[in-house]
């Protein structure tokens, strides 16, 4: 519920430092605000890429420049500079660096939550709710709309998915061609995010399916391992167009919430002994 509140970055709950820069975080309920300070010479590909483990910055940034100048280069070659007073949006898939000898100072309203933080900071052997997504009928859609339109639709889809991941505190582990693999520390947030992602994809003119499973995973050097990953993928494969399916373990963790589920029956899942019950998320 909205409430009157005030915070100051001086009293931020987390300060994330990295080469040539730092990020201060302040949280208002489910909204994370970030204060960025980059020193002259800071460049994402030099100073943050080794932490993020991705070829480019995969965050969507929405913010305001207080001072300094930041240069952006998108993966399609588009460039733009932001200076004091500018309000900006930067889609995923870019590099960035400070221009000139003046430090950069800015505030962001989207993109700060997991910036300069490795998706593998959790270490190995942790319990997480995994979420797999997949675009339904992507090959047929490509044939229908053509390469150019499909690339635009895919970019819009990916941006919409990442917006929901940020809102629900998901940790993107990898993209899977036409989908995402994401980890959550809450089964409820994972399922709520899955529902929001289905609706966001529809607004972008696409249909997705989602599978969720909670189990132990190991995060090592840029990849995720464990039986739980395979189980989540098998559950995704059972999902129909626009469906969110949850495993037996995720269902148990949703007990007491207002999430409604119905059984989709027992299924033999490759790599797991016996048959396991899978549930369709209703609302």
Q: What is the pLDDT of residue 214?
A: 96
Instruction: Give the lowest-confidence range in 111-120, 176-185, 192-201, 259-268.
Output: 111-120
Residue with tokens 């930041």: 70
d(CA 261, CA 249): 13
Whether pLDDT at 216 is above 80:
yes
Produce one character per residue of 228-265: b if its CB has 16 or more CB atoms within 10 Å, e if not.
bbbbbbbbbebbeeebbbbbbbbbebbeeeebebeebe
Q: What is the pLDDT of residue 122?
A: 47
Tell me the three-class secondary structure of 130-169, residue by residue: EEEEEECCHHHHHHHHCHHHHHHHHHHHHHHHHHHHHHCC
- List, for residues 124-162, the tens digit of each pLDDT value: 567 899 999 999 988 888 888 888 888 888 888 998 999
Q: Do 250 and 129 contact (CB within 8 A), yes or no?
A: yes
Q: What is the pLDDT of residue 28?
A: 83
Produce one character per residue of 62-87: b if its CB has 16 or more CB atoms within 10 Å, e if not.
ebebeebbbbbbeeeeeeeebeeeee
- List, for residues 237-253, the tens digit of each pLDDT value: 999 999 999 999 999 99
Q: Do 282 and 243 contact (CB within 8 A), yes or no?
A: no
Q: What is the pLDDT of residue 188?
A: 95
Q: What is the pLDDT of residue 164?
A: 93
H or E stretch covering 236: helix 227-238
Q: In this predicted model, which residue has the larger pLDDT, 50 or 73? A: 73
**What share of the chain has pLDDT > 90, as a percent?**
58
Residue with tokens 């919409």: 160
Q: What is the pLDDT of residue 176?
A: 78
Instruction: Give the lowest-confidence range in 4-8, 51-55, 262-266.
Output: 51-55
Domains and CATH numbers, the chain: 9-110 (2.60.120.10), 126-281 (3.30.70.1230)
Instruction: Give the lowest-confidence range in 19-23, 91-95, 121-125.
Output: 121-125
Whether pLDDT at 221 is above 80:
no
Q: Do 98 and 70 contact (CB within 8 A), yes or no?
A: yes
d(CA 34, CA 265): 45
Q: What is the pLDDT of residue 134?
A: 94
CA distances from 102 to 36, 83, 159 (A): 14, 11, 31
Whether pLDDT at 118 is above 80:
no
pLDDT band at 173 (very low <50, low <70, confident <90, very high): confident
**What share of the chain has pLDDT > 70, as a percent?**
94
Half-sphere exposure of 67 (CA within 13 A, CB side): 8
Burial class (CB in 10 A: 0-12, 13-18, 19+), 187: buried
CA distances from 79 to 93, 95, 213 (A): 12, 10, 40
d(CA 131, CA 184): 8
Q: What is the pLDDT of residue 194?
A: 97
Burial class (CB in 10 A: 0-12, 13-18, 19+), 97: buried
Q: Do 224 and 258 contact (CB within 8 A), yes or no?
A: no
Q: Other C-beta atoms within 10 Å of 182: how many?
A: 29
Q: In this predicted model, which residue has the larger pLDDT, 9 or 223? A: 9
H or E stretch covering 78: none
Q: Do 34 and 111 contact (CB within 8 A), yes or no?
A: yes
- List, for residues 76-99, the tens digit of each pLDDT value: 999 999 999 999 999 888 999 999
């Amino acid at each position: 519920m909205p409430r009157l509140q005030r915070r100051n970055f001086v009293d931020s709950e987390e300060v994330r430092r990295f080469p040539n820069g730092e990020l201060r975080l302040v949280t208002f309920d489910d909204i994370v605000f970030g204060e960025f300070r980059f020193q002259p010479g800071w460049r994402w590909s030099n100073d943050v890429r080794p932490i993020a483990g991705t070829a480019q910055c995969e965050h969507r940034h929405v913010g305001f420049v207080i001072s300094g100048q930041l240069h952006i280069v998108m993966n399609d070659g588009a460039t733009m500079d932001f200076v004091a007073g500018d309000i900006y949006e930067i889609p995923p898939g870019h590099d960035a660096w400070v221009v000139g000898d003046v430090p950069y100072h800015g505030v962001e309203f989207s993109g700060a939550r997991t910036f300069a933080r490795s998706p593998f900071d959790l270490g190995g052997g942790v319990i997480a709710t995994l979420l797999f997504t997949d675009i339904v009928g992507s090959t047929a859609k490509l044939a229908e709309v053509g390469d150019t339109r499909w690339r635009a639709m895919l970019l819009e889809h990916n941006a919409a998915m990442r917006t929901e991941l940020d809102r629900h505190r998901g940790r993107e582990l990898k993209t899977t061609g036409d989908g995402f693999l994401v980890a959550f520390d809450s089964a409820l947030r994972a399922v709520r995010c899955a529902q929001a992602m289905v609706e966001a994809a529809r607004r972008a003119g696409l249909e997705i399916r989602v599978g969720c499973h909670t189990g132990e995973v190991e995060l090592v050097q840029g990849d995720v391992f464990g039986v739980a990953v395979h189980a989540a993928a098998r559950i995704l494969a059972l999902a129909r167009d626009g469906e969110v399916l949850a495993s037996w373990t995720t269902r148990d963790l949703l007990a007491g919430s207002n999430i409604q589920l119905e059984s989709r029956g027992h299924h033999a899942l490759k790599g797991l002994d016996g048959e396991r019950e899978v549930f369709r998320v209703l609302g």
